[in-house]
């Protein structure tokens, strides 16, 4: 009888032990798993944001109270109330402008430690309208923060100064040129390629100051930037019409955008409280 012998050497790990895969395959498998977890988290968070306006218990006033309670755990209830009201003023800027554009908009819904959102079917008929809607929030929000400076000067209470500084800072951060932040909306009419610059800046900011909120903004920013890039690459009459901006409109958006950055930087400088240790 003829016998055949295998030329494959026995596995050094034994017949019942798992075979060790190359390092690059293990890293790749881990990356795929992490990507799947992130995608799953993003899908659930998006579903939550869509469902929030439909829940009767989470009306605007109810969500405001929940946010105040959450912020008061860290900053005290007086600061928490003022902070949430500043968010409300900012969001109402978006709501007012959306309705001026003829778009039905919901009342703001507050999400603790993530700010607030406004639901609308669109941001306008074109990039210029989107920029107007995006900048309306920081414009009204900056005016709301600035209104606290006279209150501080009249009362001498540092609470008003701290709230003013916080309001200026939050509106300035919102002007980062990355979607879905307000600065990204302005870039739709000014220079859409700046979305990639803004996203890179957001990545650097997240690395320098890692926290869950920045990671969530980075996740949604990456998804929205990718979606917009694909749409613009596909082209078509609809895309060309949407991003067709007159030089006058582009200059007006740029003036408001740059003016806001300068004004907010000055406001932060004037309301900043210098603290010393010891």
Residue 185 banded pLDDT, cuts 50, 70, 90: very high
Rounded average pLDDT over 204-227: 86
Mean pLDDT of the chain: 81
pLDDT at 28: 52
Distances (CA, A) of 144 to 11, 50, 82, 92, 262: 71, 28, 11, 11, 16
pLDDT at 32: 52
Q: Which of 53-62, 67-76, 177-186, 215-224 has the lowest mean pLDDT?
A: 53-62
Residue 75 reports pLDDT greater than 70? yes
CA distance linking residue 105 with residue 116, whole number of Å:
14
Residue 112 reports pLDDT greater than 50? yes
CA distance linking residue 80 with residue 70, whole number of Å:
8
Percent of the chain at pLDDT > 90 equals: 41
Residue 5 reports pLDDT greater than 60? no
pLDDT digits 0-9 by tens, 25-41: 555 555 455 555 555 55
Residue 22 reports pLDDT greater than 80? no
Radius of gyration of the chain (CA): 25
Dihedral over alpha carbons 240, 195, 176, 138 (to 10 degrees): 10
Q: Is 204 exposed, middle or buried (0-12, 13-18, 19+ CB in 10 A)?
A: exposed
pLDDT at 267: 94
Is the CB of residue 149 less than 8 Å from the CB of residue 271?
yes
pLDDT at 81: 94
pLDDT at 14: 46
Residues 6 or more apart from 63 whose CB is under 8 A from it? 52, 109, 110, 111, 116
Rounded average pLDDT over 81-91: 94
């Amino acid at each position: 009888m003829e016998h055949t012998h295998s030329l494959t050497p026995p596995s050094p790990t034994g017949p019942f032990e798992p075979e060790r895969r190359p390092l690059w395959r293990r890293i790749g498998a881990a990356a795929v798993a992490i990507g799947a977890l992130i995608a799953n988290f993003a899908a659930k968070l998006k579903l939550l944001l869509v469902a929030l306006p439909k829940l009767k218990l989470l009306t605007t006033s109810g969500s405001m109270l929940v946010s105040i309670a959450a912020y008061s755990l860290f900053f005290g209830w007086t600061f928490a109330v003022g902070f949430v009201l500043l968010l409300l003023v900012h969001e109402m800027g978006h709501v007012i402008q959306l309705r001026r554009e003829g778009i039905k908009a919901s009342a703001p819904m507050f999400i603790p430690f993530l700010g607030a959102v406004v639901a609308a079917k669109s941001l306008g008929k074109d990039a210029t309208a989107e920029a107007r809607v995006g900048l309306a929030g920081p414009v009204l929000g900056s005016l709301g923060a600035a209104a606290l400076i006279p209150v501080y000067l009249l009362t001498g209470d540092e609470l008003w100064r701290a709230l003013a500084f916080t309001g200026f800072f939050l509106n300035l951060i919102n002007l980062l040129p990355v979607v879905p932040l307000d600065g990204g909306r302005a870039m739709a009419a000014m220079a859409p390629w700046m979305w990639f610059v803004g996203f890179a800046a957001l990545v650097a900011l997240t690395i320098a100051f890692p926290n869950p909120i920045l990671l969530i903004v980075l996740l949604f920013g990456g998804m929205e930037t990718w979606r917009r890039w694909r749409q613009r690459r596909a082209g078509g009459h609809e895309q060309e019409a949407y991003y067709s901006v007159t030089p006058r409109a582009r200059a007006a958006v740029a003036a408001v955008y740059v003016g806001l950055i300068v004004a907010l930087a000055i406001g932060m400088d004037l309301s900043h409280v210098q603290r010393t240790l010891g």
